[in-house]
Chain A
């Protein structure tokens, strides 16, 4: 059992969720309430990481963030280390790879808040900010929670993109999914089985807790 890899994966998933939570609220709300020219294109771009092979996504991110790219050089000048093949780089690619898992359910959640309810909030004297906190977030909560759980679970299992951009540096970029692959390559089936089972248990319990919480929210609303 590679505890370091598991801890790394959980840390990566935690950071990804923490960064994507406000992004999901802003983007999901924007896409749910606004109609603008090119909305379809934006939605397609958000969904793209979902349909691209992880290797393709990983390749482009490697090019985008690599040592010779403007982003990579900027990072290098700022922190004195390269962005790819580091934990920070993994967080960046994980955030991008998880955009559809975070934004799509959040958008559905905000779309579930009827326009009359939002109008009523404004007529109750609520500023946009107060309306978000008191009315929209509580009502869009099931969608937001789904978004965060999907993001968390998907990050734990992400393999292709992580391998392309992070490699398998122990304690830095070797996540549990990569570690399992390594053990299978090294004919250590027993360790691979234990780690796989651990990952299944964590993912399953996360989703079960979400479903239970969603049902509670559902009861609260009806």
Chain B
């Protein structure tokens, strides 16, 4: 059930992109607004026609401009969650779900609503639901189509931060039920890093980088396309204890981390997003410092940028994190690859929504290609 996409167009946004998504894999299409991400989703769904395009799903051709094939949207098994959800306002939540079924099946619709945690709200109209609940209905409706490709177009951009955090966790939990390729369009690197198995970075309609988060973060061209302030890595960690002062102790490969606002019982595996510009480097282990988190590691490599900053890749017991520091500081400390170094991180600099439960990834399924 692999999704393969190729699209070339001259305008309105020049486009030249090709990528594949494996069954059960979640691919994030990232890039600034106007980069052509949403246009790509619309091409997959058959809602927009590029001059040259080829879309195949599970070996079936949906679009092939060369062969003159263009399956109408309603004949494609595609589920879309639109940015503003586009729920049918005159239908209840459950009617929205059954509307996407070939044959309306109320029991199945109720099961899908349960799956997205909408128990008891089946008979509400969209206008009577909160933004987060509307997003869940939109997701349920997309799933009710039994899609061979699930497309999510900035699905979290219209809800507040607290709701978004909850929805992230739900999507991660839902992953084990999703056997189809999933494409998430987002401009939010945090979202992409938390949720996606792989990223395709797009700038001005051109593919800049296709790879894992770590590969993207190691590519200066991709970092330029994303904006340097978005540079961050996901550090895997395990919850070990919740302290009375509200901080949670997390164990990482390089030592303990103390962070606020972490939920989940001890033993929960999480990923913590560490922003490169929040990391301070020190040769000696500092004393008398307010920062709670000091992780010891070695410098893997140093990448010079064009500006006054350098990117230092620090190896923390097998996990790399990035520190964005000034070139001047790197010179004064005469940092060299292989040097022992301490990475310092303020507990409060990790935002609540930058911590996510580890996806119960469907990677086991990604190999049995069509």
What residues make up the interface of A, taking CB atoms closer than 8 Å to B? 114, 116-117, 119-128, 131, 134-135, 138-139, 220-222
Contact = CB atoms under 8 A, between A and B. Distances in A.
B90 A138 contact: yes
Contact of B89 (A123, A124, A139): A139
A125 B84 contact: no
A126 B75 CA distance: 8
A188 to B, nearest CB: 51
Given A116-B82, A134-B99, A221-B127, A122 B89 contact: no
A117 B88 contact: yes
Contacts of B102: 125
Nearest to A220: B90
B145 interface: yes
Q: Considering residues A117, A120, A134, A138, which has the most beta carbons from chain B within 10 angstroms of its beta carbon?
A: A120
Contacts of B90: 138-139, 220-221
Contacts of A220: 90, 125
A221 B102 CA distance: 25
Q: Considering residues B80, B88, B141, which has the most beta carbons from chain A within 10 angstroms of its beta carbon?
A: B88
Interface residues of B, number: 25
Contacts, number: 68
Contacts of A125: 74-75, 77, 100, 102, 145
Q: Considering residues A122, A135, A138, which has the most beta carbons from chain B within 10 angstroms of its beta carbon?
A: A122
B86 interface: yes
B89 A221 contact: yes
B127 A222 contact: yes
6 contacts: A116-B82, A119-B47, A120-B80, A122-B47, A124-B74, A220-B125
Contact of B80 (A117, A123, A138): A123
A125 B75 CA distance: 6
Q: Considering residues B77, B99, B141, B142, which has the most beta carbons from chain A within 10 angstroms of its beta carbon?
A: B99
B335 to A, nearest CB: 51
A144 to B, nearest CB: 14
Contacts of A116: 82, 84, 86
Nearest to A118: B86
Nearest to B79: A123
Given A116-B82, A139-B89, A139-B90, A124 B127 contact: no
Contact of A123 (B73, B84, B87, B127): B73
B78 interface: yes
B86 to A, nearest CB: 4
Given A119-B47, A119-B82, A126 B89 contact: no
A127 B80 CA distance: 16
Contact of A114 (B78, B86, B141, B145): B86
A220 B89 CA distance: 9
Nearest to B127: A222
A122 B86 contact: no
B88 A123 contact: no
Given A123-B45, A123-B78, A135 B88 contact: yes
Nearest to B153: A116
A119 B82 CA distance: 9
B145 A120 contact: no
Given A117-B86, A138-B90, A123 B145 contact: yes
B127 A122 contact: no
Interface in B88-109: 88-90, 99-100, 102
Contacts of B125: 220-222
Contacts of A128: 74
Given A124-B145, A125-B74, A125-B145, A119 B86 contact: yes
